[in-house]
Structure 1
């Protein structure tokens, strides 16, 4: 069998395993390809695999449980998958943060390349807002003061207009002080390396906070999203949240 045919067969097998909920089996099949033919062969397959299938594998692994997909996925492939994460309706966004940290802060990665790729896509800022959802007040403080101390200690937050009009500000803390391979480092990189994306992300966070104050659940403000392309809700262990409905529209929407 030719290499192309083998790769097509692997894509079909991986897709079927994910549809059946066997994420470990899908990741194992991809790992076997990397072991047999090298990392470049796997990267070719990942470029042909649907973003939702790449996401299904990546979100089940973190730094403590490495996946060959997380280690090799490119910034563009990762961004296309990440913007679909909200369809899993993971209200705590635990999987999202673990996945993002494992990929963006891997040893060979340039986090800014990943952030730039995320910012280039519709839904990128929303995905980052979901990543920071549990740390909203600390991100507000960082926007106002350059530190992560409680924002109420420094008076009112910047208005949306003030935030948009704010100029470049020298960092009050060094990157080394927040190099935690987690949300603080991510926020620092966004504010000082990807300023426009940081502002957009914070505006989305504010919109989500206003919706919460109005008693709206996440998604209520966008009823058009309630379609057959969403993923099953799951708040259970890793490996349990799998796509419920799979349509070709998801790839074309990226």
Structure 2
């Protein structure tokens, strides 16, 4: 039997294990497949799993837990699975502890994007993940944890382009991810910013925008809260009968890193 002939059976096995909640057993099946057929077999299965199953599997892992799936998930398959992440969150937690969900989502995204040292893969992951409407919302959720720093980075990117240093008023680990997204996809970066700050039409308009020094004072411009963005992503979860599609929205702006 050829390696290819084994893949449908492995896909079915992994799907059943994940849906039954046996993530560790699913990982063991991936590990065995990698030992027998190489990493390509794991990537192939991850590219054929339904995205809602991939979301369920990957939601069980973050930067603190290593996973073959995290390291080998094809960028497009990961991007599609992000559309289903919100379906794994309890309603009461969105309402009562939105920051905790957003931090878990950050750990997940960070864990996948930086799972390997491969810079090309990192860029492809970020490009694919930010090329959809739900992807823009996912990144906006992450930025909502550090909106002041994100605004500072946006202004720095506009003024310094590729010489951006990422120095902000606090040492947030969200900033390096934001800069890597901006370098990987100008369009994805712009769209995620506008999801968070919907009054702006383009990041250039943010160059002069500032947060007040008093943390209790609201900024002069609209900013969506973490909770609002979590609910927005929840509304974007596709029905399992419809596969997520790449957005047809046109690209905005010019090359900010030219």
1:8 and 1:38 map into 2 onto residues whose CA distance is 16
Residues 168 and 68 (structure 1), Cα distance of their counterparts in 2 relative to 1, 3 Å cut: same
Shift of 1:81: 1.5
Give CA deviations for 1:61-102 in whole Å, capped at 9, x if unaligned. 233321111111222222111232233336322332112112
State the TM-score, normalized to the length of structure 1: 0.68
- What does residue 7 of structure 1 align with? 7
- What does residue 128 of structure 1 align with? 139
Shift of 1:204: 0.4
1:97 and 1:81 map into 2 onto residues whose CA distance is 15
Match of 1:107 among 117, 140, 143: 117
Residues 94 and 22 (structure 1), Cα distance of their counterparts in 2 relative to 1, 3 Å cut: farther
Residues 191 and 44 (structure 1), Cα distance of their counterparts in 2 relative to 1, 3 Å cut: closer
Match of 1:248 among 231, 241, 254: 241
Residues 43 and 183 (structure 1), Cα distance of their counterparts in 2 relative to 1, 3 Å cut: same
- What does residue 201 of structure 1 align with? 192
Structure 2 alignment gaps of length 5 or more: 200-221, 247-258
Shift of 1:203: 0.9
1:8 and 1:117 map into 2 onto residues whose CA distance is 25
Residues 43 and 225 (structure 1), Cα distance of their counterparts in 2 relative to 1, 3 Å cut: closer
Residues 29 and 117 (structure 1), Cα distance of their counterparts in 2 relative to 1, 3 Å cut: same
Query: Size of the alignment, in residue pairs?
Result: 211
Native 8 Å contact 2:75 2:125 kept in 1: yes
RMSD: 3.5
State the TM-score, normalized to the length of structure 2: 0.68
Tell me the SS of whatever aligns to 1:134.
coil
Native 8 Å contact 1:17 1:23 kept in 2: yes
Structure 1 alignment gaps of length 5 or more: 147-166, 230-246
Native 8 Å contact 1:33 1:41 kept in 2: yes
